[in-house]
Amino acid sequence: MLLKTFGWSFAVTAGGLALAGVLWGWKGLAIVGILSILEISLSFDNAVINAGILRKMNAFWQKIFLTVGILIAVFGMRLVFPVVIVAITAKLGPIEAVDLAINDKEKYEHLVTAAHPSIAAFGGIFLLMIFLDFIFEERDIKWLAWLEKPLAKLGKLDTFSIVVALGVLLIAATTVATDVAHGGGDKSSTVLLSGVAGLVTYLIVGGISGYFEDKLEEDEEEDDEDESDEKSGKDNADEKAVAANGGQRGGATVMGLAGKAAFFMFLYLEVIDASFSFDGVISAFAITNDIFEIGLGLGIGAMYIRSLTVYLVRKGTLDDYVYLEHGAHYAIGALALILIVTIKYEIHEVITGLVGVVLIGASYWSSVVRNRREGAAGEGSETKTEVTSGV
């Protein structure tokens, strides 16, 4: 299972490092290796979030996520995206931007860094909305109950998460954006515009995917009512579907989301990945300003994140360790705030990576403790039953 899931990642790593050694020597090989580790450390929480969404999709769309999705992630976000940002912010043509990236790396790095406020505002607000919608939702399983219970009550107010996100954006625009180190000067209007764009993107993509998912659930409920007299036969068919789909049971249907619902969920996943890639791309320029080294190194890391996502889904890890999603969402909330703060202040990527690792590690340990406690309670119940029956 491990080799089957991570086989392509291992192959890409070997090929990528070999290519780096041939093109740039030992120094280039070391840089690509460091960038790969950087990407994995910064995006581990991304894999957990992706797994929570991907398990709702059927096997076909899971394969699309791992194939077409990785091409978008590697070439689109890690290689093409920085060039597009430079072209837009510097008002250059695509060819000019590419020429600049290849032949004038220092100026290219400067332009990418100058675009950081808009990138951070867009990605920060998008990720913040993911966290807020999670934390304001009423859930049967709570990790930090003392915090999550009152926040769930606040979440009953419609659009409350939007109000909070806009409030954070307004504070950012009037504080950290007024005197920006990246590019210099007042970037309040840029931050406001980019933050609103991130919010709108989240509402559109998330709203459409949610609509189709809800519609699929309603159709499934209607089918269940119409075919209640065939329940026994349907149960058998569902069990076969579960086996054919790798044992998954999550999502709107047993077979998982398909069609339009899965397509928009796929788009949603890609936008999430894009938001997570922003800090990695910007941080990479602290190591090298060669876009090909950045693309190769971050691409290898992105491949592992994709494979890890699929591994978590197939192993049912999120069902076994129920607090992992909580930890990942708290990590997303922390990353969102870090991105916004970096509009003005520099925060080392080690700190960014450690925050996510600590939160996910804590949620994993809490899950293990919960499982042990419930297991002990179950054993105690069985022992009591045996003694009683023996009497």
Say if residues 45 and 332 touch (Cβ distance below 8 Å): yes
What mean pLDDT is predicted for residues 279-307? 80
Domain that holds residue 73: 2-382
Q: Is residue 391 situated within a structural domain? A: no
Q: Which of these, 153, 150, 151, 195, lies nearest to 172 by C-alpha position?
A: 195
Q: Average per-residue pLDDT in the chain?
A: 79
Q: Is residue 258 situated within a structural domain? A: yes
Instruction: Tell me the pLDDT tens digit for each residue of 242-269.
Output: 444 444 444 444 445 667 777 878 888 8
Q: Is residue 151 situated within a structural domain? A: yes
Q: Could you tell me the pLDDT band of residue 128, with boundaries at 50, 70 and 90?
A: very high
Q: Please give the tally of structural domains in the chain.
A: 1
**350 pLDDT exceeds 80?**
no
Q: What pLDDT was estimated at residue 330?
A: 92
What mean pLDDT is predicted for residues 6-23? 87
Q: What pLDDT was estimated at residue 251?
A: 40
**382 pLDDT exceeds 60?**
no
Q: Could you tell me the pLDDT band of residue 100, with boundaries at 50, 70 and 90?
A: confident
Q: Is residue 389 situated within a structural domain? A: no
Q: Please tell me which of 6-15, 169-178, 183-192 the model is most confident about, judged by mean pLDDT.
A: 169-178
Question: Please, which residues have CB within 8 angstroms of residue 302's CB and are 6 or more apart in sequence?
Answer: 39, 43, 70, 73, 74, 77, 78, 273, 277
What mean pLDDT is predicted for residues 171-183? 80
11 exposed, middle or buried (CB, 10 Å; 0-12, 13-18, 19+)?
exposed
Q: Could you tell me the pLDDT band of residue 164, with boundaries at 50, 70 and 90?
A: very high
What mean pLDDT is predicted for residues 120-141? 89
Separation in Å, CA 167 to CA 117, 133, 183, 259: 17, 15, 25, 36
**377 pLDDT exceeds 80?**
no
Q: Is residue 374 situated within a structural domain? A: yes
Q: Is residue 388 situated within a structural domain? A: no
What mean pLDDT is predicted for residues 368-385? 72
How many C-alpha atoms does 87 have within 13 Å on its Cβ side? 12
